[in-house]
Amino acid sequence: MTGYSISRLREFPKVVGGANRESGVRAFEVYKNFVPNLHLVSSARVAEFIKIAEGCYRDVNVGLANELFRIAEELGVDFYEAREFANHEYCHLLLPSTGVGGHCIPVYPWFLIRAAERAEQRGKFGSARLLRAARGGNDEMVEYWAERIILGCLRVNKPLSEVKICVKGITFREGVKELYHSRNLALARSLSEKGLNVFVYDELFSRAEVEEGLGLRFLELEEVGEADLVFDCFGLKIESREKEKNGESGHGRK
C-alpha cells in the first residue's frame, strides 16, 4: 500500500504461493523471517487472485458508498449521519470520495473483467457486471464533483470564468505524495479544461512542482482564502466566500 508499505507488511496478513509446492514452501521459509502473519497457499495463481480479489472488494465498496452518497444528496439525507448509525458488526459503509486512485485498486478489477470477457468469447459465463459497474461509477465521481463545483460557482456574484476556484489536495491519498491515477488531480484538470479559473493547493507540493511539472496554477496556503470557492478533495467540502457572507455552510463530511 503506497505510503504504508513497511508498516502494512507487518500489520496485515500476507499470502505466498509458488509455481509448485516446493517453490511455494521455499518462498514461505524466506518470507516468514520478516512477515509475522504469513500463510502458504497452494499456488502463485491463488495468491495473485487473493490480492486482486481484495482490490475488487475495496473498489466495489467504495463504489457503493459513492452511489449511496449521491442518492442521499438527492433525497436531502445527511449521508454521514446515516452512515454513522448504519455501520455495525454486519454492515460497514465506506466513506465517499472523488473516485479511486493509486497503483492497485483502480487497476486490479480490469484483470478479472478482461478474464471474464475472454470467457464469454469461449461461450462460458463471465460477465463481471458488478466489477465493471463499480469501476464506471467510481470514475464518474470526477464529473459529479465538477458539476457540484460549477453549481457552487454559479452562486457567486461574478461571471463564471472569473470565479477563483481552489482545489485543495491533489494526491490520490491524503498525506501521501503520489499522483498515480489521482482522481483529485483529474478533477482539477477537468475544471481547467472546462475553461474555469482553477488553482490548486497541496501542502506536499511546491509551486514549481505544480506549475512546471503538472501545468496547473498553484496557491500558497495563505492565498487559499482569496479563492471565491474552495473544494476540499478529502473532506468533500465546498466552501465559498459568498456562502460565508450569507452565513451558509459547505457540503461534505461533518
Contact 169, 234 (CB under 8 A): yes
The kind and range of the H/E element at 133 are helix 129-154
**Prediction pTM value:** 0.89
Give Cα 210 to chain centroid, integer Å. Answer: 20
Average pLDDT over residues 213-226: 97
Number of CB atoms found within 10 A of residue 113's CB: 17
Average pLDDT over residues 22-44: 96
Domains and CATH numbers, the chain: 1-42 (no CATH), 142-245 (3.40.50.720)
pLDDT in tens, 87-141: 999 999 999 999 999 999 999 999 999 999 999 888 887 789 999 999 999 999 9
